[in-house]
Structure 1
Amino acid sequence: MSSADYLQGACVWNGVDMYDNPRWVKDFPPAVLDEIDLAVGKSAGIAWAEIDRDNFPLPSSKAFFDDVREELENGSGMVKIRGLDVGRYDHEQLRRIWYALGRYLGTPMFQNRRGELMREIKDEGAGVGAKLYGATVDASGKEFLSSGARTLSPGELRFHTDRCDVVGLLCVRQASVGGVSKLASSATVYNEMLKRRPDLHALLCKPIPRSRFGEEAGGQYVTYDLPVFGVRDGKLTSHFSLTYIENAQLLSNVRKLTDAEHEALRMLLQLAQEQCFEMRFAPGDIQLLNNHIVYHGRTAFKDDVTTGQDRMLMRLWLSVPNSRALPEDHAILWGDVSGGMPHGGIAQPATPCVT
């Protein structure tokens, strides 16, 4: 399959499809919920990061999680799991449950250079995200936040992907206003751009300069080149975060994008908005997304602590055992590009980064 071929299959969808055919919505089997309850008690005293399948047994869960992984890799690329009553558990119990579910689905990967395997996504307050993940200034002198810093603010998040096969979010609390999840099929965006503007599509199949600014520090180089669209064995991978592309453009030693490349990136975001659908989390909802074929964003939100409506999600980055093989040139970001092998996540700093 060449980059000029249209993608096929259940990964190609638009927002209307998802509303009309909620194949991606799954409920925990009652037996699995009962086993979670039992395992929470048995694992008391075990740190959440030490939880595994042996000390958190869910013997009835295999068929369910196999079905979830199949939908993620060979279906729509997204799953919402309902049924977990988060109000029954304290914070540490929820950490154990969520990490256990991640271990049943795949291998948790590092989410930042500080080695975090689980991250709470919430409004950390002014300046906290910038301190943790980094900030710089743009050409006009305005503060430019890293992608990680933006995640820990209440502001809108543009469509993007994370550096892992599957990103998982467990909603513990929802905001009083906003915080709506926006999802779009990157395969649909790929096809629509190929149909409408094949000239711009071709540009996104070629290398685009990226920065490892903030959370991606720890790689061998501060900057790297990677296409937005890559296809191997008929399967797409689209790694996209405009923040890293924009930051690379602020660096003096990086190739400047052409007007046509800027137009292609704008069109990608326009198509994602056109083809997306919106989903608001309820407490207990679990959202799982295959980053290779789904872009995700978020509307701005406002918390109300007095009513207990202060948005907090627990996030895992997972490498899954049924993952697709990636194009060879994606090794600079993903490491091992073989199918089914642990890859992705943030490299942990051993030596200083160089340009």
Structure 2
Amino acid sequence: MKEQPMTSSVSLQPVEGPSAWRGDVLVDSPEWIYHLSDAELVELEEVGRRFVADDPDLRTVTAADYPIPACARLNEVSARQLDSGLGMLLVRGLRTAEYGDALAGAIFYVLGLHLGQPIGQNQHGDLVDHVIATSTKTMTDDGALPSRVRDRLPFHSDSSDVVGLLCLRGAKEGGASSIVSASTIYNEILRRRPELAHLLFEPFHWDWRRQDPDSPEMTFTSPVISYVDGVFSTYTGMAMIFSAQQYEGVPRLTDDQVEVLRLFDEITQEPGLALDMHFQPGDVQWLLNYTVMHSRTGFVDYPEPSRRRHLLRLWLRRDVGRPLVPKFGKHVVELGESKGPVHPGGRFHIADAVRVNEDWGN
């Protein structure tokens, strides 16, 4: 996304448009679910099989290598919802139970290539990551990795333009994907505490070390909100702001800053604002991190390891010219890779990439 420093401003007017939605209103709308047609499904399965057979390097393969002309409408709807619509879309209809994980992952990766550029998600530079509970830790434990525990997660943004999830297998109980409109949260802050809203446009220190153990610095700075040329964007995950307070040299948060950050988080939990998506195997979810915050309800797994709740995750760079204030979000990351060392061991072929590293996050 593009930084445009000369036209940034503070907006104390409510955000309007389709990105400012409420879950209790949207839940009964068909607008956020796209059902694959027979022609789209046949094409994706054929392309996915060719992808598995070709076994391309995930770091260099492009959308042009695997065209999906029958999915032109799917790609158009996905792009429109992300860039100027709800900021999210659920794509339903893949028959992942019949595929095996490599074919399912290949189809997911091809869909991602047609929306953006996959970027690294961990110290190994893996382009496909896993959301699966391999750890017995809880989020209160040191070193707990959110993608590898069963707890409910706080609402947050990921370190990419777009985040995609493919459900391979669901949980025995719980595990709904909860999403909420950041625009709606901001509008509620304006309504309740307008005198605090301007603070969200000012830079905060974020805990970089807790996100990336090899980070060269302990923190980076970013505002929570960017407003440029009338375009409203957010970067959230208030726990990272509060945990950064433990580091020497980080300015102490003022009482007003603490209040507005806590208010932001509190509003996300209020009934009616969030939309819960109960994933079915084969569901693909796309979210624009600048307009939608995401979470997950706690869950219980099946006792058999092969039946555990298992999602594949993509982080995408989607450069469509969205204007942002300078140094917004996790700007210390270039294409999703830490400026610290990248360790060997990355998995850059689809058959390897869909296999879970059981030691990760333990």
Output the TM-score relative to the length of structure 2: 0.84
User: Is 1:258 paired with 2:268?
Assistant: no
SS at structure 1 position matched to 2:70: coil
Q: Which whole-Å CA distance do the structure 1 matches of 2:237 and 2:143 have between them?
A: 13
Deviates more, 1:25-34 or 1:301-310: 301-310
Q: Which has the higher contact order (CA 8 A, sep 6+)?
A: 2
Aligned-pair CA distance for 1:323: 5.2
Q: For 1:112, which of 118, 122, 128 is the aligned residue?
A: 122
Identity of aligned residues (%): 31
How many residue pairs get aligned? The number is 330
Structure 2: which 5+ residue stretches go unaligned? 1-8, 343-362
Contact 1:114 1:348 in 2 (8 A): no
- What residue is the counterpart of 1:81 in the other structure? 91
Residue type at the aligned position of 1:62:
A
Distance 1:108 1:78, change over 3 A: same
Aligned ranges 1:174-323 → 2 under 5 Å: 174-216=170-212, 221-274=217-270, 275-306=273-304, 309-322=307-320
Aligned-pair CA distance for 1:241: 1.2
SS at structure 1 position matched to 2:154: strand
Aligned-pair CA distance for 1:81: 0.4
Structure 1: which 5+ residue stretches go unaligned? 131-141, 337-342
Aligned-pair CA distance for 1:108: 0.5
User: Is 1:346 paired with 2:337?
Assistant: yes
Q: Which whole-Å CA distance do the structure 2 matches of 1:345 and 1:235 have between them?
A: 23
- What residue is the counterpart of 2:326 in the other structure? 328
Aligned-pair CA distance for 1:84: 0.4
1:198-225 deviations in whole A, cap 9, x for unaligned?
Answer: 1221222211111112434566632122
Distance 1:314 1:12, change over 3 A: same
Q: Which whole-Å CA distance do the structure 1 matches of 2:321 and 2:12 have between them?
A: 23
- What residue is the counterpart of 1:137 in the other structure? none
Across the aligned residues of Structure 1 and Structure 2, the Cα RMSD in angstroms comes to: 2.4
- What residue is the counterpart of 1:164 in the other structure? 160
Contact 2:177 2:296 in 1 (8 A): yes
- What residue is the counterpart of 2:146 in the other structure? 150
SS at structure 1 position matched to 2:220: strand
SS at structure 1 position matched to 2:41: helix
- What residue is the counterpart of 2:350 in the other structure? none
Aligned ranges 1:21-170 → 2 under 5 Å: 21-43=29-51, 44-47=53-56, 49=58, 51-126=61-136, 143-145=141-143, 149-170=145-166
Residue type at the aligned position of 2:330:
L
1:14-57 deviations in whole A, cap 9, x for unaligned?
Answer: 11221132311111232121112222332315157265435433
Q: Which whole-Å CA distance do the structure 1 matches of 2:105 and 2:341 have between them?
A: 28
Q: Which whole-Å CA distance do the structure 1 matches of 2:67 and 2:15 have between them?
A: 39
Distance 1:298 1:264, change over 3 A: same
Aligned-pair CA distance for 1:308: 5.8
Residue type at the aligned position of 2:336:
G
